[in-house]
Amino acid sequence: MINIVKMRLLSIICVSPYNPVMQHLSVLHNEVLALLDPKAGESVLDVTLGLGGHSKSFLEKIGDSGHLTGIEADENNLKLAQERLKAFENQTELVHANFREIELMNLPIVDIIFADLGLSSPHLDDPDRGFTFRENAPLDMRFDRSNGITAAQLIKSLKEEELANIFWKFGELRTSRRLARAIKEKEQVKTTLDLKECIEKSAGYKARDILPQVFQSLRIAVNDELGSLEVLLNIGPKLLKKGGRMGIISFHSLEDRMVKKAFRELSQPMIDDVTGAVTEEAPFEVITKRPVFPSEEEVEGNSRARSAKLRVIRRVERV
């Protein structure tokens, strides 16, 4: 009897293995398609390919005569996306790189640039990556494991004050100094559990409330996420054709503030200081006067979408 139960269980596990592509839901999928409006024959640059969810839909819209370049920092995700987009291999170029390098990549100008910032579900689902406080694992947190230093190495290399600044700037943690002290006092912080113990020591029963911010702030620092976004906001618009659209989904206020400011500046005309007359029309227009949020239904089905905000600009035809 026990053997039969065991065999049944085994067959269930075998026919339904964990499939990250199936588990991963692309955030604001319909809104992205509606606002970026990919058309037959257009070219797309997806700088956060992830598991290729948004890219697959772009490819379906741009058809055989279109072209998509996908950039992904994480080699595992890149492989999953390559597999998923196999049917489109003649129209795609998928590259293992950080989008902060786009200026050096000799990319042609395109109709659409898209970024869906931050991490993907496999990063959280794979405890070995060190992104989640729910499992004990080496404290890594790099999107690209072939490059840069891990969160554990970063913690070791920083002074107490520098560490506190990370928690303050990227996590808006009011207890950043106390936490940094607890971390630096610990003999070694090599795993997610070591870090969790420091948080518990410093915040007591409130630790649970700040765990997500602490992990998020270290992740932002390890991957220099705001530095990369700044490059994208500077270089991306220059790579857009006339009429081209650029859409960015951000997941926390620091990113959204940067996107909002950059898009606003790009959509301002040049004004003569003396006469106040317009000397040069604005090169871009903001398509999303307010950020686009996911629907309640989407958040219910995918809690990761909860804090997503989408903003889109368009290069005007005449500039």
Ligand X SMILES: C[S@@+](CC[C@H](N)C(=O)[O-])C[C@H]1O[C@@H](n2cnc3c(N)ncnc32)[C@H](O)[C@@H]1O
Binding site for ligand X (CB under 6 A): 24, 26, 48, 50-54, 71-74, 77, 98-100, 116, 118-120, 143, 228
Closest residue to ligand X: CB criterion: 50
Q: Which of 219, 209, 217, 211 is nearest to 195 (CA)?
A: 211
Could you tell me if 186 and 197 are in contact, meaning their C-beta atoms sit under 8 angstroms apart? yes
Q: Which is closer to ligand X, CB of 51 or CB of 163?
A: 51
Could you tell me if 202 and 181 are in contact, meaning their C-beta atoms sit under 8 angstroms apart? yes
Return the structure tokens found at 239. Answer: 């790579």
Pairing state between β 110-116 and 43-46 = parallel
Q: To the nearest whole angstrom, how small is the minimum distance from the Cβ of residue 208 to ligand X?
A: 25
d(CA 234, CA 18): 39
Q: Which is closer to ligand X, CB of 81 or CB of 287?
A: 81
Q: To the nearest whole angstrom, how small is the minimum distance from the Cβ of residue 137 to ligand X?
A: 17
Q: To the nearest whole angstrom, how small is the minimum distance from the Cβ of residue 116 to ligand X?
A: 4
Q: To the nearest whole angstrom, how small is the minimum distance from the Cβ of residue 113 to ligand X?
A: 13
Q: Which is closer to ligand X, CB of 72 or CB of 140?
A: 72
Q: Which is closer to ligand X, CB of 35 or CB of 193?
A: 35
Alpha helices (H) along the chain = 2-15, 20-23, 29-36, 53-62, 75-84, 121-125, 151-157, 160-171, 176-185, 192-203, 207-222, 225-235, 253-266, 296-301
Q: What share of the chain is helix, strand, coil (3-state, %, to 5)?
A: 50, 15, 30
Q: To the nearest whole angstrom, how small is the minimum distance from the Cβ of residue 81 to ligand X?
A: 7
The widest CA-to-CA distance across the chain, in whole angstroms, is: 90
Q: To the nearest whole angstrom, how small is the minimum distance from the Cβ of residue 106 to ligand X?
A: 17
Return the structure tokens found at 21. Answer: 């592509």
Q: To the nearest whole angstrom, how small is the minimum distance from the Cβ of residue 221 to ligand X?
A: 13
Q: To the nearest whole angstrom, how small is the minimum distance from the Cβ of residue 121 to ligand X?
A: 8
Q: Which is closer to ligand X, CB of 80 or CB of 164?
A: 80
Q: Which is closer to ligand X, CB of 47 or CB of 207?
A: 47
Q: Which is closer to ligand X, CB of 147 or CB of 295?
A: 147
Q: Please give the sequence-ordered ranges of beta strands (E in DSSP) within 37-170, or none if there are none.
A: 43-46, 67-72, 92-96, 110-116
**What residues are paired with 240 via a beta bridge?**
110
Total Cβ atoms within 10 A of residue 288: 16
Q: Which is closer to ligand X, CB of 253 or CB of 268?
A: 253
**What residues are paired with 311 via a beta bridge?**
248
**What residues are paired with 289 via a beta bridge?**
none
Q: To the nearest whole angstrom, how small is the minimum distance from the Cβ of residue 172 to ligand X?
A: 21
- 42 φ, ψ (degrees, to nearest 5): -80, 165
Burial of residue 103 (CB within 10 Å: 0-12, 13-18, 19+) is: middle
Q: Which is closer to ligand X, CB of 152 or CB of 229?
A: 229
Could you tell me if 175 and 202 are in contact, meaning their C-beta atoms sit under 8 angstroms apart? yes
